A and B are shown apart, each in its own frame.
Chain A
Amino acid sequence: MGLNLAVDIGALRLPNPVLVASGTFGFATEYAPFLDVDRLGGVVLKGVTLAPRAGNPPPRLCETPAGLLNAIGLANPGVEALVRDRLPLLAGLACPVIVNIAGESVDEFAALAKRLDGVPRVAALEVNVSCPNVARGGMQFGTDPGATAEVVRAVRENTDRPVIVKLSPNVTSIAAVARAAFEAGADALSLINTLWGMAIDIERQKPVLGNVTGGLSGPAVKPVALRCVWQVYEAVGIPLVGMGGIQSADDALEFILAGATAVALGTANFVDPGAALTVLAGIEAYLARRGIGDIRDLVGRAHR
């Protein structure tokens, strides 16, 4: 009477469906003092670019009602430092490592995929075509189905690893972008990246964020994220990783019922570093209570 929690994201087998989202968990070692990282379904590392990136001028953060605006600007040490300094630290990690890549051009995406192909510990690539905080690349690609397809094809041609495309909610039809990514060879889709937003300091009479605009995350965005997962599940037949404001097992179950094969916690990690494992335990308890032996039976059930 074993309970199956393992799920497949394309060719990537996750031991359980609870991931931590890119940009909210660093390179995983930062959180090691606070939770048993081995027990996660997987970790999605901070987005990396070809060259190191310093990131945006501060302030980079602004808390909003039940939410967080960020404009980090993809600050990262670059793909070479990732391979040389960071990935070796994860050699003993029990769960899969997904590397988020962000290019400023199609060629950069291709180069990133090629550089990481065959590198130990890289279980899959998450293609970041949805960052709202960079001047070039990011959301520019992910809000255009044609540009998304071009990026996905370039990555696909340069890696044997599963390709997960991270979608932006800042579009009129997320289903159209999802279909374009699918047709270009994506193995799975992750959604959503942050919602494009801003805040203004009424005393200084200026935008709060150094970058003027930023990306909104946290509980405030959950209904939007859930709607996106729902629509994309109906549009394409590949696995989805659902995220956006998940704080509890109940939240995660909503995403799974809407069509997500796996879920990721982002902002919740800042609030409670143990949140992902609490969510996992809650999902297990739900399955036991409902007499469901396999998490996969729950995926998309709200559509049926």
Chain B
Amino acid sequence: MVVTIREGDPPTRFPAVPVQTERLADGLYLFTLTAPPLARAARPGQFVHVRVGGTADPLLRRPFSIHRVDREKGLVFLLVRAVGRGTRLLAGARELDLLGPLGRGFTLPRGASKLAVVSGGMGAAPLVFLLSELAGHEVRVFAGANSRSFFPALEELSGFPLYPATDDGSMGYHGPVTDVFRAALAGWRPDFAYACGPYGMLRTFGGLLREAGVAGEVSLEARMACGVGACQGCAVPVGGAWRLVCSDGPVFAAGEVEWD
């Protein structure tokens, strides 16, 4: 099976009704939305651009990775950490105005069978969707979080070997998840690797892949306005040029990202 974006699926705009808002941990929510067209069209790594209220402040939409879909039931899941005003409003919303699916998602090279998935905190959001399409591959999941309380967000990963790491040592390795990934690379060479998480973690991940000679992809984030490639606001340095997280990404080849 090859995970690719079907270029023929145009993004749309529609209201989506949260049918369930589940509090997974302090400030961490799982949104279940009824949005059948989005559930059908979405590919792992793509995102939705969500209007958080009808007011002028906060003004802009907020981008969220698609965490998981249930195509049969027409459900879309979003993993939301209520940190800013926007995400706090979202956590209390009765109806959401969504644009999506947006952006270019993850790809899987033909013939790749051993896969590493490295997640840092909220970086789990798009990776859970990716993992749901990787059945039949030899996959290892390296997941880092601040503490054990985050791991309910990763429940869907139960089919794969999980190598956890926490900042507070409450579960798995006590330290950065990239340490665990580095150690694993000494005795196991994946054909392809994926990562999403904080910038520093991704930079370390990119370095590890380069040293190991392993190809892979990272999902990046940036301050975003339009979400559709019009405003040029979310530029990141990739492959010798400024590329847009919203329309060229958010997923980029790890080897092409020019890390700070």
Which residues of chain A have a CB within 8 Å of any CB of chain B?
A: 23-26, 30-31, 33-34, 46, 54-55, 58-63, 65-68, 70, 72, 75, 218-220, 247, 267, 269-274
Contacts and interface: CB of A to CB of B under 8 A. Distances in A.
Contact size class for B?
20 to 34
A151 to B, nearest CB: 24
Contact of A61 (B97, B229, B234): B234
Closest 5 CB pairs of A and B: A26-B230, A66-B56, A61-B233, A30-B230, A219-B56
B187 to A, nearest CB: 38
B12 A271 contact: no
Contacts, number: 101
Given A55-B235, A271-B61, A33 B11 contact: yes
A71 to B, nearest CB: 9
Contacts of B224: 61
Given A34-B99, A60-B223, A66 B57 contact: yes
B229 A26 contact: yes
Nearest to A32: B10
Nearest to A247: B56
B231 interface: yes
A219 B227 CA distance: 19
A197 B231 CA distance: 18
B226 A24 contact: yes
Given A61-B223, A61-B225, A75-B242, A24 B59 contact: no
A19 B118 CA distance: 45
B56 A59 contact: no
B241 interface: yes
A26 B228 CA distance: 9
Contact of A72 (B59, B61, B233, B247): B233
B59 A68 contact: yes
Nearest to A208: B223
Contacts of A31: 228, 230
B58 interface: yes
Contact of B58 (A63, A70, A247): A63
Contacts of A62: 223
Nearest to A70: B233
Nearest to B58: A63
B228 A72 contact: no
Interface in B1-56: 10-13, 51, 56
